[in-house]
Structure 1
Amino acid sequence: MLSQAMIDRLNEQINLEMYSSHLYLQMSSWCAYKALEGCATFLSQHADEEMMHMRRLLNYLHETGALAVIGGMQAPPHYFSSLTELFEQIYEHEQSITRKINDLVHLANTEPDYSTLQFLQWYVAEQHQEEFLFKGILDKINLIGTEGQGIFFIDREVSNMAANKGKEATAMTAAQ
């Protein structure tokens, strides 16, 4: 049985994951508007992934007999001055999500709630991958630049990431 403090914090995380999905979907729309189709596809896929993260938490609460509470949320920003700014905001957002996951792990460890601690380990690993992914995109932007054809090459690089992510998702679905 989960403590009320843990239920409250998991519900907060559910809503943060839902916000993340909306944020990436809005960013995808901005990229499509700017004719950055590779980035738009990649961020749309990432929005779906964030929704899966939310559902995973939701299911965990259901499995433990707790009530999941879906709250309202602030609309994500819809305008970005540049692709660099957009990916910088994503990287900062992922770092804040990592801090929230770490806070959840700390709570689970101090209560102690070993079942939730075990459950959260997947999120710890996932957040490491998320930060690594978006830091890598920023590194490529800094390396290639966005002047002239640079933005075309960045969009193509991110498009390749989207294609690889799509292949991984197809392989996972086939394995199930």
Structure 2
Amino acid sequence: MSLISKKIADAINQQIGMEFGASLQYDAIAAYFDTEALPNLAKHFYQQANEERMHAHKFMKFVIDAGAIVEIPTIKAPQSRFKWAGAAVKLAYDNEIVVTNSINSIAVLASKEANFTTLNFLQWFIEEQVEEVSSADQLLKIVERAGEGGVLFVDDYLARAKGGEGKK
């Protein structure tokens, strides 16, 4: 017996793919910044990639614990080339909005089915997405304010804000 419907399991499986896709996209953005010799921006996005993988694993564990089957969908290749740093950060911000909307859609579905187990589980993600969107929005504003020629200042800002330069 499953604690979640097939419809909810399918939606969460799609979310698992979205989280893994976000992780790959953040790894590609991190590699872009590494290539551009911006170690703190690279470190930030490598950390984001790890966080997204952790989110995918949380969703997987929930599906398994709920008695359903994990079916990871095909994940599209991430974008690896960017015109400038702002385009990479904008992609990250846009991705966080898409992920947030997807999680909210699962919550709506769970609510319609009166599946409080799923609603309770999703609460952590709903709160997490507020932080993720806010953080991505702040970084995007800083990068856009700095402009194409000011990306080194942004990298330096991250070093100070996050406690120093470092590699992955």
Same fold, TM-score > 0.5, yes or no: yes
* Partner SS, residue 115 of structure 1: helix
| Cα shift at 1:110 | 0.7
Please say if residues 42 and 159 of structure 1, whose CA atoms lie closer than 8 Å, have aligned partners that are also in contact.
no
Residue number in structure 2 paired with 1:158: 158
Which residue identity is paired with 2:16? I
Structure 1: distance between partners of 2:45 and 2:161? 10
Deviation at 1:69, TM superposition (A): 0.9
Change (3 A) 1:33 1:124: same
For 2:140 and 2:80, how far apart are their aligned partners in 1? 20
In structure 2, C-alpha distance between the alignment counterparts of 1:105 and 1:163, rounded to whole Å: 36
1:52 aligns with 2:54: yes
RMSD of equivalent CA atoms: 1.5
Inter-CA distance 160–22: structure 2 relative to 1 (3 Å threshold): farther
- How big is the shift at 1:3? 0.4
What TM-score comes out, normalization by structure 2 length?
0.92
Native 8 Å contact 1:14 1:70 kept in 2: yes
Q: Which runs of 5+ in 2 are unaligned?
A: none
Matches of 1:27 and 1:142, distance apart in 2: 16
Between Structure 1 and Structure 2, how many residues are aligned? Answer: 163
Pick aligned residue for 1:145 from 144, 147, 159: 147
Q: Counterpart in 2 of 1:106? A: 108
* Change over 3 Å in CA distance of 1:160–1:75 after alignment to 2: farther
Q: 1:126: how far off?
A: 0.7
Distance 1:130 1:26, change over 3 A: same
- Give CA-to-partner distance per residue, 1:36-91, whole Å, 9 cap, x none: 11111110011000000000000101111111112221110110000001111111
TM-score, with length taken from structure 1: 0.88
Aligned to 1:124: 126
